[in-house]
Structures are given as structure tokens and as C-alpha cells.
Amino acid sequence: MSDATMDASLNGPEPTQLKTADGLPLKAALAKSQLRAKRRAFLLVAPLFLFVLITFVVPIGQMLLQSVYNDGFSKNAPALGQWFNEHPLGSPIDESAYTALASDLKQMKENRTQGEAGTRINYDVAGTRSLFTSTARKIERLEPPWKESILGVNEGWSDPNLWRAMRSASSPYTVDFYLAATDHTRDKDNNIVPVDPQRAIYGKLFIRTAILSLVITVLCMFLAFPIAHLLASLPLAKSNLLMIFVLLPFWTSLLVRTTSWMVLLQQQGVINDLLVWSGLIGNDNRLEMMYNQTGTIVAMTHILLPFMVLPLYSVMRTIPPSYVRAARSLGATSWTAFRRIYLPQTLPGIGAGALLVFILSVGYYITPALVGGADGQLISNMIAFHMQKSLNWSLAAALASMLLGGVIILYWLYDRLVGIDNMKLG
């Protein structure tokens, strides 16, 4: 085949249109033969590709979708959906609207979906879930005129804000969960307004999460650098032994490490006991090092330290000691040699470690939950709350997507500033 191709290309009448012996253009023949190889190669990576798709792309895609898609109300209230389509915002809520409401409530009662629909509206207007469940329970005994009889069951139905919420929920696609995730809501005329400052929480938590993660990253950097340097400069036998001390906590359960810190740091804990015993502080003013931000920072720094030590160590191992020696012999002070020669070479390790630690701490959840107390809570604790307790998965997805977006922006910034090729993960 390849000989024939050669012949054709050498002896062909038109050098511009190369053809194989069986008359196919060379390009097509090449593509055809390569296609098989490509297909084979694809089949080889297909399992991996499928794995990534199923375990990574699909769940994240679903989460992103969930943050803008919630059909809890729209699929259960077709009549109201139609009414909202026919009557623009600002139309009076008249008998026809209540007729649609009654027909939907009857349907919900039959399918037992009033809870689902009510929950969706309750995300927007607090206290309305029970309107749906209680009215649906009685709807079969009600009679027209619907407006009068439904308002007779519960006055709450006349709230214009409720009707605005139902209108916006009658389309399954919405950005309202992102509004909620940024401490905003809509008023009864559909304008975006900030929520009551007493309820504004997510912005504050995002900022706190970023600041705490930054503090933890910097602390890890300062603690890990000398450790990694020591490990890298010792002979292998000794450094391997010391490495155990880094890895042993790394292999220990997260919960065990967190609770050991609680034993150490709490007010009746080991450190406070030692301080009181040595007379440094009185028994009455024991230090508060747990159940606040200090506790969160200490425990998380310890837990995340190996993620900084390991990349740093693997980079430092590859730096020949002769460079620093050469700088010293050329007259550099030890500080200059460190600053100009050694430090720049460790940058890939620092970058990788910092990125790892920062991204991990942004999403940390169990440690702040256990040792964070009141002011050591992070945004992930709110995501967990909405996943497990309030079951508002759309809001949880919106918060998580914003967190994911933030991390991606960070990664992009890192790539622009340091260059992702310079990263060395170990």
C-alpha cells in the first residue's frame, strides 16, 4: 500500500492531485488508513473517557443544570402556567387566576404533589409551603367562586409577592437561585433587591472562606518550606524516616486528627492545662483556642500541611546543591543565594502546593463544622446545610457552582501569572 502510494506520487501525471494505485486521492487514503488507527486508539481510551464522563462531567453538569432548573412547581401547575402566559405581570389576580389555581390544586391533591410544588414556592417566599398543603387538603370541599372560597381557607393567597413567585416558578428555568446565593431576592414587582440585612449571609461567608483559605495557605507555606528543605537535604535514609512523620498524620483519619486538636486546644484541654500548671495563665482566664476561627485555622493548617510538603519536597529534591554553592563561592551572601538562586527554583513546588491547599480549604467542610464554632463556619457548611437539611438542592447547586467558578478563575489567574506548565505536583 505504501509502495503504491509512493509510485503514484512519483509517477503521477498531475503532481498536485496525488493518487494511490486504486485511484483514491492520497489524502483520502491516508485519512482512511489513519481512521482505523484512530478508532483503535479511541477504543483504548474509551473506558477511561466513559469513566471521566460518568463520574465527573455528568454530575457536575447536572449540578450546574440544577442551579438554573427546578420544575417542582411548573410541572405540577399547568393551568397556572397557562394563565401566567396569557396575563402579563401586573394583571389583576382575578377569578380566572383562582380558577386555574383551584384546578391545579385539585390535580396536586390527586397526584399528591402539593408538597413538592409548595416547597418550590417556599424557597422564594417563606411560609407558603403550608398554604399549598393545607388548601389542597380542603380543595375538594370548596366550590366556586374560587377566589372567595380559597381566600376563605387562607388569606395568605392574596399576597402579591406569592403570585409573583408562582409566576417566576411557572418556568422551570430560573436564575433566582443565583440571586439567593448572592443575598438578593425579588420584590412583588419583580425588581431585584438585596435581602433583609439580617438574612444576608452568603456574601459574608464567601469572603470569609476566601480569607481563611488564604491565611491557611500562607501558614502552610511557611511551615512546609523548612520541613521540605530539611527532608530534601538530608541523606535519603534519614529523610525517609522523617518523611513518615509527614505521612503518618496524612494517612490518619481526618476525624481523628480533628478531634485530637479538640483535645489539645479546648479550654479544659492539654495546652490550657499545661499553661495553668506552669503558672503562665490563671485558671480563670484559660485561652479560647477552639470553637472559633483560631481552631479552624490551626486544625486545617495541620490537616492540609502534607499537601504543601509533598510537592515542595519533590521539587527541592531535584535542585542540585551545587547551584547554591556556586553562588556562595561567587560571593553571594547566604540570604542572596537563597533569594536569587534557591527560592526561584522551588517556585513550581510552592505554586502547586499553594493551589492545592487553597482549593482544598475552600471546599473544606467537616473540620470547620466540628471546631469552627460560631465564626469559623465556611460556605461549604451552608452548601451541606442545603443539601442535607433544607433539601434546597438548587440553592446548594448555585452556591457550589459559584465556588467552582471561583476556583476556575483562580486556576486561570495562576496560569496567567505563573504558568500551569511550571506546576509540579510531585
Partner 1 sequence: MKKAMILSTALVGLVAGAAQAEEVTVLSWGGAYEKSQVEAYNKPFAEATGIDVNMEAADNPATPIKAQVEANNVSVDVADVEKSDAIRLCDEGLLEPIDPDTDLAASPDGTPASEDFIDGSFTDCGVANIVWSTVMSYNSDKVDGEPTSIADFFDTAKYPGKRGLRKSAKGTLEFALMGAGVPAADVYKELGTPEGVDKAFAELDKIKGDVVWWDAGAQPPQLLADGEVVMSTAYNGRIFNAEVAEGQPFKIVWDGQLMDFDFFVIPKGAPHMEAAKKYLKFATETQQLANQAKWISYGPARKSSAPMVGMYQDGKTEMGPHMPTAENNMQNALVNDSEFWADHDTELSERFNAWLAG
Find the binder of partner 1 among 112, 244, 277, 421 (CB under 8 A): 112
CA 384 to each of CA 378, 389, 390: distance values in angstroms, whole numbers, following the listed order: 10, 8, 9
User: What value does the CA radius of gyration of the chain take, rounded to a whole number of Å?
Assistant: 32
Told to check if 377 binds partner 1 by CB under 8 A, we report yes
The CB-of-111 to partner 1 minimum distance in angstroms stands at 6
Find the binder of partner 1 among 27, 32, 39, 204 (CB under 8 A): 204
CA 54 to each of CA 48, 65, 206, 397: distance values in angstroms, whole numbers, following the listed order: 10, 16, 29, 18
Bond preceding residue 145 cis, omega within 30 of 0 = yes
Told to check if 111 binds partner 1 by CB under 8 A, we report yes
Site for partner 1 in 380-399 (CB under 8 A): 382, 385, 389-392
Told to check if 258 binds partner 1 by CB under 8 A, we report no
CA 184 to each of CA 67, 111, 389: distance values in angstroms, whole numbers, following the listed order: 15, 33, 22
Cα 164 to Cα 151: distance, rounded to the nearest angstrom: 17
- Residue 269 contacts residue 310 (beta carbons within 8 Å): no
Residue nearer to partner 1 on the CB measure, 8 or 289 = 289
Site for partner 1 in 208-237 (CB under 8 A): 208
Cα 36 to Cα 28: distance, rounded to the nearest angstrom: 13
Cα 423 to Cα 238: distance, rounded to the nearest angstrom: 27
Of 81, 77, 146, nearest in space to 116 by CA: 77
Told to check if 370 binds partner 1 by CB under 8 A, we report yes
Residue nearer to partner 1 on the CB measure, 348 or 376 = 376
Told to check if 119 binds partner 1 by CB under 8 A, we report yes
Told to check if 115 binds partner 1 by CB under 8 A, we report yes
Cell of 222: 511557611
Told to check if 133 binds partner 1 by CB under 8 A, we report yes
Residue nearer to partner 1 on the CB measure, 295 or 349 = 295
The CB-of-201 to partner 1 minimum distance in angstroms stands at 4
The CB-of-53 to partner 1 minimum distance in angstroms stands at 21
Cell of 213: 483559605
Chain CA centroid to CA 234, Å: 39
Cα 223 to Cα 244: distance, rounded to the nearest angstrom: 17
Cell of 418: 505563573
Burial of 244 (0-12, 13-18, 19+ CB in 10 A): exposed
The CB-of-372 to partner 1 minimum distance in angstroms stands at 8
Told to check if 340 binds partner 1 by CB under 8 A, we report no
Site for partner 1 (CB under 8 A): how many residues? 41
Cα 305 to Cα 221: distance, rounded to the nearest angstrom: 8
Chain CA centroid to CA 273, Å: 39
Find the binder of partner 1 among 12, 116, 287, 317 (CB under 8 A): 116
Find the binder of partner 1 among 369, 404, 410, 418 (CB under 8 A): 369
Told to check if 74 binds partner 1 by CB under 8 A, we report no
Q: Across the chain, which distance is largest between two alpha carbons, in Å?
A: 102
Contact range with partner 1 by CB under 8 A, out of 55-63, 125-133, 159-167, 352-360:
125-133
Contact range with partner 1 by CB under 8 A, out of 45-53, 200-208, 220-228, 321-329:
200-208
Site for partner 1 in 299-318 (CB under 8 A): none
Told to check if 122 binds partner 1 by CB under 8 A, we report yes
Residue nearer to partner 1 on the CB measure, 214 or 319 = 214
Told to check if 129 binds partner 1 by CB under 8 A, we report yes
- List residues near partner 1 by CB under 8 A: 111-116, 118-119, 122-123, 126-130, 133, 195, 198-201, 204-205, 208, 266-269, 291, 369-370, 373-375, 377, 382, 385, 389-392
